[in-house]
Amino acid sequence: MLVANRGEIAVRVIRACRDLGLRAVAVFSPADRGAAHVTMADEAHALPGDVPAESYLNIAALIQIARAARAAAVHPGYGFLAENAVFARACERAGLAFVGPPADVLAICGDKARTRERVAAAGVPVLPGTGTVRDDALVAEAARIGVPLLIKAAGGGGGKGIHLVRTEADLLEAARIARGEAQAAFGDDRIYLERWLPGARHVEVQVLADRTGRVLALGERDCSVQRRHQKLIEETPAPGLDADLRRRMLEAAVAGAKAIGYVGVGTVEFLVDARTFFFLEVNARLQVEHPVTELVTGIDLVAEQLRIAGGGEMSVADAPVPRGHAIECRISAEDPHEGFLPSVGRIEDVVEPGGPGVRVDSAIVPGLEVTRHYDPLLAKVITWGPSREVAIARMRRALEEMAVAGVATTIPFHLWALGDAEFAAAAHTTAFVTRWEASHPQGRHEGEAIIAAAAFAHLQAQRTGRPTVQPPTATRLWVRAAREEGMR
368 secondary structure, DSSP code: -
Q: Give me the pLDDT at residue 160, please.
A: 75
Same domain, 474 and 380: no
Structural contact between residues 16 and 299, judged by C-beta atoms closer than 8 angstroms: no
Indicate whether 190 and 244 sit together in one domain. no
Residue range 43-49: mean pLDDT, rounded: 97
Can you tell me the distance from the alpha carbon of 280 to that of 112, in angstroms, rounded to the nearest whole number?
9
Residue 110 covered by a domain: no
Identify whether residues 269 and 335 lie together within a single domain: yes
- Decide if 28 contacts 38 (C-beta within 8 A): yes
Residues 25 and 82 in one domain: yes
Q: Tell me the per-residue pLDDT of 302-358, one tens digit each, with 9 for 90 and over.
A: 999 999 999 999 999 999 999 999 999 999 999 999 999 999 999 999 999 999 999
176 and 213 in a single domain? The answer is no
Span 70-89, mean pLDDT?
Answer: 96
Span 412-435, average pLDDT: 96
pLDDT digits (tens, 9 = 90+) for 137-164: 999 999 999 999 999 988 766 677 889 9
Render pLDDT for 176-210 as a digit per residue (tens, 0 to 9): 999 988 887 777 888 999 998 888 999 999 999 99
The residue length of the chain stands at 488
CA 406 vs. chain centroid, Å, equals 23
Which is the catalytic residue, given 12, 227, 285, 488? 285
Q: Please, what is the Cα angle at 177 between 372 and 408, to 5 degrees?
A: 25
> Is the pLDDT score of 445 beyond 50?
no
Co-location of 162 and 256 in the same domain: no
pTM of the model: 0.88
Contact yes or no for 360/420 (Cβ under 8 A): no
- Helix ranges, 69-212 (H): 85-93, 103-109, 112-121, 138-145, 171-186
Per-residue pLDDT band at 112 (split at 50, 70, 90): confident
The helix or strand, by DSSP H or E, that contains position 257, with its residue range, turns out to be helix 243-259
Whether residue 119 lies inside any domain: the answer is no
Which residues lie below 8 Å from residue 357, measured CB to CB, with a gap of 6+? 383, 384, 385, 390, 391, 394
CB 260 within 8 A of CB 213: no
- Which of 148, 178, 195 is where one domain is finished? 195
Specify the number of domains making up the chain: 4
Q: Check residue 456 and give its pLDDT.
A: 56
pLDDT tens digit sequence for 244-284: 999 999 999 999 999 999 999 999 999 999 889 999 999 99
| Domain co-membership, 189 together with 208 | no
**Could you tell me if residue 141 is inside a domain?**
yes
Please tell me the predicted confidence (pLDDT) of residue 158.
65
User: Which amino acid is present at 251?
Assistant: E
Mark whether 285 is an active-site residue: yes
| In the predicted structure, residue 469 carries a pLDDT above the cut 50 | no
Q: Which structural domain, as residue segments, surrounds residue 477?
A: 448-484
d(CA 298, CA 59): 34
Buried b or exposed e, range 369-403, using 16+ CB within 10 angstroms: bbbebbbbbbbbbbbbbeebebbbebbebbbbebb
Per-residue pLDDT, 411: 97
* pLDDT score of 473: 42
In terms of domains, do 257 and 372 share one?
Answer: yes
Examine the domain organization and report whether 163 and 213 are in the same domain. Answer: no
Which of 195, 222, 240 is the endpoint of a domain? 195
272 versus 448: the higher-pLDDT residue is 272
Contact residues for 371 (Cβ-Cβ < 8 A; gap 6+): 31, 50, 344
Question: Is the pLDDT at 466 greater than 60, yes or no?
Answer: no
Give the Cα separation of 130 and 445 in Å (integer).
47
